[in-house]
Amino acid sequence: MTSPSIVHAYEADMIAPLFLAILTAAFFWHNVVPRQLKGLQVAFPTGPRTYEVHQVTSTVEDVRKLLARRGTRLGVASYLMALTGSLVLLFEFLNFRAGNSAGYHAPSVAFALVLIVIPAVVSSGTSLGAQIIKPHGVSRASLQSNSTLRNASYFALTVAWLLLAMGIGAVLMTRDVSPTTLYSTVALVAFSPAILAYGRVLGSSWHALKQSSEQIAKGRASPFHNHLPNARQQFVAQVVHLNLVVMPFVAANTLLSLILLAYNPDMFVHSDRVLNLPEYRLQSTYMEEGGLLGFGLIELFSHIPQAGIRVPIVTTLLLFLLLNVAAIGFLFVYEVARILFLDIQDVSGRGGIRLADSRLLRAEPIQQAHVLNFCFTGFAGQSMLLLALAMITFWDSSFLPQGAQCGEWEADVCAVFEKDMLEQLTWMLASAGQVAFLVVWGLSRSRSTQLDEITFDASMDEDRTRLRGMSDMIYLKQRPTAELLGNDNWNTAIERFEASTQGQEAMLVGLDMIRSTQAKMLLHVGLGRWDEAEEMAVDLLALQGGRDAQTARLVLCAASLAQRDYQEAVPRLALLNNDDVEAVRLRWVASLLTGKQHLDRDGQSMLSVDPLRKDNIRMLKEFEQGETTLRSGHVRQPAQRAMYLAEIARLRMMRRSEEALNHLERTMRRMNESTWVQGRLVQALLNFDDGRSLTAINTVKELAKDYPRHPHVRAVLHQLALLGKATRPPSEPTKIHWVIERETDWKHAWPLHNVAVAPVLDTQELKQHALKANAWSLLLGEQGVSKPAGKKAYKQLPDEVPLGLYTHLGGLTITISGMPVDLGLPSNIDIGAARKLGLLDA
């Protein structure tokens, strides 16, 4: 059959291929893709060599919701473009073969090429960026969305890489390289990042996938699939397993073939029996036939006399050998998604690509959308490109218009996309992917034996869900940790946390883990150790799968604000339940700190009568005026007590400790509550300020005797020990303490308390941290806070700080589960901007 020509006119018979291509792509996207992505799982560590495996998408609707998220838009568009472009070429070919047209329609072919090339370029840029730019949430758990700068960096990398490819082309031109080699080499370099990324992902996860698919194919539960599989799941697993088994052999065949080709291109020549076969077309190199293995199979099957048997077998085998990696990229792009979601490359191999913290990937749709977006943008484009090349060039480009058949395209388009160049590019791209896989697979073999030593528990989440409704009965309705800390009952909270980490009941491990993780998170929040609290919140989100996780989400938002990472705070705010007054308070504080409105009308209405917001507004106005006053009303609520003690801290810095002491003693008499440990501790600190050191030290020692695990008491006692006025307390086994209890490096570690002023400010770093943490620390200097704090305002801070000031100096105060939480007060806060936004309106 002769090759078709290019039809440059707009004809009615070009409509059907376009319509069918768009219709098929839509059907495929709406029906096939969601079903293939159902059952995505993520594994994250919960202990030494112990991983929990949780399901992310249980139903087709879960997948559709995930695909509809904003973070997947580029991936969806890229995948649909590449798929539609390939289908346009396919239906153009079928339209021609059916005799409905005289050839390929130039407008349709041009449209298809654009749809294929753009996603391929995006695929290359996305893969390059993922391998060069460190993704968010790897070094530190983050929900930060891609910023404009980050997206610009990806774009700049893509342009730079394409320029590099063109530069290589320019060098080849100076050496009189043939146009075929020139164009194919430039294209190989341009699209190589996606090929390398795919080889890294599949090579590093091959061992775990093979182990799991083998179990499912046999009808057994696997480490990542804790239920007995049905018939469809067994069939899919069998196909995946078979493909995984042969992949190393196919890749090794490619590598050996390339080595021999480089040594002697004319080493292997087909026999006359093959050359005389009617279906055989002489190839430029045996790489177009699947390398050495393909060469041998063609020789072997040439002995079959029946063409009806011989041709399909040879065609199928050669396609598999040539496009093994590309076929997986297209047909098993969903398996790539499963690999990236499982995030097991660190334990199953080396050289993988990690896109997000696996715990956040379990709980947060933002991260799930990000990973899925990378699957489509990073792999679909290059896979569809290879698929399109395979359709165009196989067998011997018989259906590729050439020479005069190109018409108006003969001198330009067809001069570039000519037969030999496309065939060479096809095997070069396929070979590059196989070699990349083989290298990473080889490096990962040493870790494959360790998989048997790791426990993957896919049932814990289900067990935990069943027991969640019984938790109150199981734990005898114990008082929540947040309530204990809000009431200053640190002793009981720490003792209970210590006891919960020693539980031995196997059936309750899941609930014990949640409760101990939540307790540790809140204990770190109470100490203002936000980096550690954030990590615990991420653990908690993962364990709970995002369910019943408002407290963890509040902690994550508060952590971003305390860390002054406002860009990260914005996407975290979007995950909060806005019917909760605590979430609305966080939005109000975020608006204050960022200078942008994050409150809607309902939130503003809810806060209009909130007493805690009014207390914060009063504090901000006093800061603006550079003065402070003590409240006259009752301080019964935990948040009121925290802000009251913060007011006393400000008076201490203004050398008005006697006035503060008198007011505190009157307040404590009205409260008639002797168990307010922190109130009694501050009373001792005020006595120490006024020279009554013996009274202060005796009070602190009494508190340490009655409440030996209260971190504020322990910290002050530790400071007194450093001054030679007390004995250092025993170490706290849970490590829930202020970092001043560390023996040597506490100054270096102090920034762990993100919003607390250090006990001494004898280094530039500690002074700068003090201004970032709480600008009220300017009261320690001679100029106070009456003037706007400049970049060098830290220089006015003295080295000495009142004893134990950090235990009760606070700034903006919110609550989490009723527990008062200090977010400090950065020196760069713009109160004028807050007033313009109406944030300070009474």
pLDDT digits over 667-680, tens only? 988 887 667 899 99
Select from 673, 588, 661, 74 the least CA-distant residue to 380. 74
* The pair of three-digit structure tokens given for residue 77, joined into one six-digit string: 């568009």
Task: Identify the bridge partners of residue 455 per DSSP, sorted by sequence position.
Answer: 50
Question: Strand 455-457 relative to strand 50-55: parallel, antiparallel, unpaired?
Answer: parallel
Question: Concatenated DSSP letters for 243-286?
Answer: HHHHHHHHHHHHHHHHHHHHH-TTS----HHHHT-TT----SSG
Please tell me which residue, 483 or 466, carries the higher pLDDT value: 483
Report pLDDT for 600: 86
Q: Which two tokens stand for residue 160?
A: 């730079």
Answer for the pair 830, 595: CB distance below 8 angstroms, yes or no.
yes
- Looking at the DSSP assignment, which residues form a beta bridge with residue 41? 55
CA distances from 95 to 21, 104, 739, 802 (A): 12, 9, 74, 86
Do the Cβ atoms of 776 and 829 come closer than 8 Å? no
Cα R_g (the chain), whole angstroms: 34
519 vs 326, higher pLDDT: 519
pLDDT score for 685 = 96
Q: pLDDT-derived band of residue 475, with 50, 70 and 90 as boundaries?
A: very low
- Which secondary-structure segment (H or E) carries 34? helix 33-36
- Which residues are within 8 A (CB) of 792 and not within 5 positions of it... i.e. 6 or more apart? none
Contact 396, 358 (CB under 8 A): no
pLDDT digits (tens, 9 = 90+) for 256-311: 988 988 888 888 888 888 888 877 777 777 777 778 888 888 888 888 888 888 88
Q: Who wins on pLDDT, 695 or 240? A: 695
Confidence of residue 506 (pLDDT cuts 50, 70, 90): very low
**DSSP string over 438-484:** HHHHHHHHHHHGGGGGSEEESSHHHHHHHHHTTHHHHTTTPPPHHHH
Q: Range with the lowest mean pLDDT among 469-478, 788-797, 820-829?
A: 469-478
Tell me: pLDDT of 627 over 60: yes
Mean pLDDT across the chain: 82
CA 676 to centroid of chain Cα atoms = 42
- Higher-confidence residue: 809 or 793? 809
pLDDT, one tens digit per residue, over 104-159 is 888 998 999 899 999 989 988 888 888 887 665 554 544 444 456 777 888 899 99
pLDDT, mean of residues 59-79: 85
Joined together, the tokens standing for residue 26 give: 């839509």
Alpha-carbon gap, residue 164 to 435, rounded angstroms: 22
Beta bridge partners of 103: 5
153-185: pLDDT as tens digits: 888 999 999 999 999 999 999 888 888 889 999
Q: Which residue has the higher pLDDT, 279 or 188?
A: 188
Two tokens, residue 143: 């929900």
SS3 593: helix
Model confidence band, residue 584 (pLDDT cutoffs 50, 70, 90): very high
- Give the pLDDT mean for 542-548: 65
- Are 197 and 131 within 8 A, CB to CB? yes
Provide the pLDDT for residue 473: 41
pLDDT at residue 144 in the model: 47
Which span out of 70-74, 202-206, 374-378, 654-658 was modeled with the highest average pLDDT? 654-658
